[in-house]
Amino acid sequence: MSAELAAFAQQYKRKAQRGTEPNDRGYSREVEALMKRLPAAELSAALNSESDEQLPSPKPKQRPPDDGLPRKSGRGLEVFIRPTGDLRHRHSGSIDPITENPMLIVLGGLPGTGKTAIARELVVRSPSAYLRIDTIEQALMKLSVLEEIGSAGYIVAYELARSNLALGMTVVADCVNPLSITREAWRAVATSTSSDLLEVEIVCSDPAEHRRRVESRKADIPEHTLPTWEAVLRHEYEVWTTNRLVIGSALVSASEAADLILERLRSLAAGE
């Protein structure tokens, strides 16, 4: 029985050293009861034994392939594995780690132009922090502590983007980004974290199609009130005066728009 006790003690120590949860240590209640009855000297000798000859080497845990695809944990939660290395030959159309710096992609444009659909295409292709101003503003409205949201949603988004970029994450921001001051603020976030920045303006050059989208879409955020077509026409939106990638969503699909953004990222990385 001393050999069995020593084996149990070694197994216990090994698992404890690996940081395994106590309930997962594979206790034998019979051996535990015997340990309590042993003389102190014999118990001490067993617990301090450094011999592992009687125990088989534990099998290494199988790690999921690092292919950048979503995985499901035991609790049904999707866990994304951040890709490393060149992905172009492993996952067509994904956001390649083409620079050593974190990447901030800011999608702007009037409501109903297709920003959210394009942002989701990008996030699906590669693990990214996705920041949607509509979601943040709706959460702030639930707090009922602000009489008017104003710029609060953008301020929260700036700080969330900053913290994720500091961790080396790609960040995709989905917002109207209507003013020169909001656009400059995003640039400041990228600069403060030594991140690369791609500004994208999404436009819908077909007014009839734009109106159809605005009037037919359904809210995907609980309690979120979508703007009417008249509200979109009245929305404050300053003309851009800086370089950005302009995509006409009336001419390309969300998937094709994501392809254009990825191509621009690669061109920028190549110095083109």
* Amino acid symbol at 191: T
Element (H, E) at 190: helix 180-192
What integer pLDDT is reported at residue 235 of this predicted model?
96
Output the pLDDT for position 89.
Answer: 31
- Return d(Cα 195, Cα 59) in angstroms, integer: 41
User: Which DSSP helix (H) or strand (E) runs through 156?
Assistant: helix 152-166
CB 174 within 8 A of CB 115: yes
Which tens digits make up the pLDDT trace of 138-154?
A: 998 888 666 678 899 99
Kindly report the number of other CB atoms within 10 A of residue 15's CB atom.
16
Stronger pLDDT, 6 or 69, i.e. the higher one: 6
% the chain with pLDDT above 90: 54
In the CATH hierarchy, which fold is given to the domain comprising 98-269? Rossmann fold (3.40.50)
Read off φ and ψ for residue 167, nearest 5 degrees.
-90, 0
Task: Spell out the domain ranges in the chain.
Answer: 2-47, 98-269
Q: What is the pLDDT of residues 77-123, one digit of tens each?
A: 222 222 333 333 333 445 555 567 899 999 999 999 999 999 999 99
Q: What is this structure's pTM?
A: 0.65
- Residue 251 sits at the vertex; the CA angle it makes with 68 and 107, to the nearest 5 degrees, is 50
